[in-house]
Amino acid sequence: MELDILAVFLATIAFGIIFKLPKRTLFNSGLAGVLGWGGYNLAFRFTHNQIFASFLGVVVITVIAEISARLLKEPATLFIVSGIIPLVPGSQAYFTMLNLIKKDYQAGFETGIETILIAGAISAGIIFVGVLARLKTNESNLR
Amino acid sequence: MAQQNVLLLVSLIGELLLKNGAETYRVEETIRKVGSAYDFVKTEVFALPTGLFISLEDKDSQSWTRIKRIKHQTTNLQKVSMVNDLSRQITTGQIEVNQALMELREINNHGDSYSAVTSYLAAGIGGVTFSYLVYGLRLELIPAFIGALLLEIWMHSNNINKFMAEVVSGGIASTIGIVSNYFYPVLDYNLIILGIIIILVPGVSITNAARDIIGGDSLAGIVRGMNALLTALAIALGVASILGVKILV
């Protein structure tokens, strides 16, 4: 459990460095990653639905990102892009390709749909919170 | 002339933001705000990942237009953050145009905030921790670390077309996986390859594409989405062409 948290934190920060985040935003993006991963696991334990769990995890990440964005006066994306890395369906995408190479189209179709649904849930989570965060600031921000 | 300088300023701001991985709405909003901060009554801007169209209109209804072609996209969120700071200063503190231009040039030439070695190590750690999260503590983590590190070094140093670079990267990843499996058959090559290619996955483009489309910038979103899909296909092609030989033989 502790090792998992450490791994999520390190993964988020490592990808933050690859995307060249400003140094002072690294800790908060790591925090967003850890809490989002926690939210994902909690939701998965109760519902056993990977898509819903991904959505909830990303909602947590985006909420933390919006708060950090206001505290540190930085764009919220900075905290989101690396925070979602532990949740992206990288392994599903890989096995989709592998199944297609093996000409196992049935399995490929299944993993492919799963990949698309998880990716969709992640985008939906970001947009969901993003729209809510911009509801209060009127004028040009509302779009 | 002041108006010309503002035009130059906003086009440089837009270019820097688009080149370094900002969302389309951020580019358009920033340009609109900077334009009105410098007393233009109307600022029309249309941003795409591949180009930027700006038209400024002042009180005498005279207008200035500039089109900017954007090439070579990377992800450098440090620069996005710096431009964001500058535009905040412009809209609140009213910096003079020439000074803003100078600061923008400085941002453009700003070196990486992380040394090359740091980013190579970060890639290695990113690969290892991602595969740990998917499969737990296994021996495959060691070749995944080395592979991700080597791949990042290669991606930094190569100078070829982006698509080809990604195909070759996929090939390198699956070669490392298969070679490790050949010498140590206990190692599952799938897990190694997965850990290595995760550092290439176009996560930023996919998220930005979805946000663009929902936000109403459908054309920009489609372009970004196509780019992300192309990257994913390139990686898959590279992996598949090496792995396919192993599986089929």
CA distance B91 to B64: 20
Q: Could you tell me which residues are beta bridge partners of residue A72?
A: none
Q: What is the pTM of this model?
A: 0.89
Kindly report the backbone phi and psi dihedral angles of residue B136, in degrees, each rounded to the nearest multiple of 5, phi listed first. Answer: 80, -170
> Is A127's CB within 8 Å of B114's CB?
no
Q: What pLDDT is recorded for position B249?
A: 65
CA distance B117 to B115: 5
Q: What pLDDT is recorded for position B69?
A: 93
Specify whether the CB–CB gap between B17 and B77 falls below 8 A: no
Q: What pLDDT is recorded for position B53?
A: 95
Sign of the CA dihedral with B51 first, then B109, B198, and B203 last:
negative
Specify whether the CB–CB gap between A93 and A65 falls below 8 A: no
Q: State the CB neighbour count (10 A cutoff) for residue B196.
A: 32
How close, in Å, is residue A74 to chain B by CA atoms? 6
Q: What pLDDT is recorded for position A142?
A: 38
Ramachandran sector of residue A138 (left: φ over 0; alpha: ψ -120 to 50; beta: rest): beta
Chain A with chain B: Cβ pairs closer than 8 A: 146
pLDDT 10s digits, A13-69: 999 999 999 999 999 999 999 999 999 999 999 999 999 999 999 999 999 999 999
Apex B152 CA angle, B108 and B113, nearest 5: 35
> Is B207's CB within 8 Å of A81's CB?
yes
Give the residue ranges of chain B where pLDDT is below 50.
none
Report whether pLDDT(A138) > 50: no
pLDDT 10s digits, A93-125: 888 988 988 889 999 999 999 988 998 899 889
> Is A123's CB within 8 Å of B210's CB?
yes
B199 contacts in A (CB within 8 Å)?
A: 15, 18
CA distance B126 to B197: 10
Specify whether the CB–CB gap between A68 and A129 falls below 8 A: no
Q: Confidence class of residue A141 from pLDDT cuts 50, 70 and 90? A: very low
Report whether pLDDT(A134) > 90: no
Q: What pLDDT is recorded for position B1?
A: 58
Q: What pLDDT is recorded for position B135?
A: 85
> Is A127's CB within 8 Å of B75's CB?
no
CA distance B35 to B3: 10
How close, in Å, is residue B155 to chain A by CA atoms? 12
Token pair listed for B52: 């930027």
Instruction: Among B137, B199, B243, select the one facing A101 at the smallest CB separation.
Output: B243
Specify whether the CB–CB gap between A17 and B149 falls below 8 A: no
Of B29, B77, B211, which to mutate for an interface test with A (greatest number of A Cβ within 10 Å)? B77
Nearest CA among B81, B219, B54, B238 for reference residue B163: B238
Instruction: Among A21, A84, A85, select the one facing B77 at the smallest CB separation.
Output: A21
Report whether pLDDT(A1) > 90: no
Q: Could you tell me which residues are beta bridge partners of residue B43?
A: B56
How close, in Å, is residue B119 to chain A by CA atoms? 6
> Is A98's CB within 8 Å of B113's CB?
no
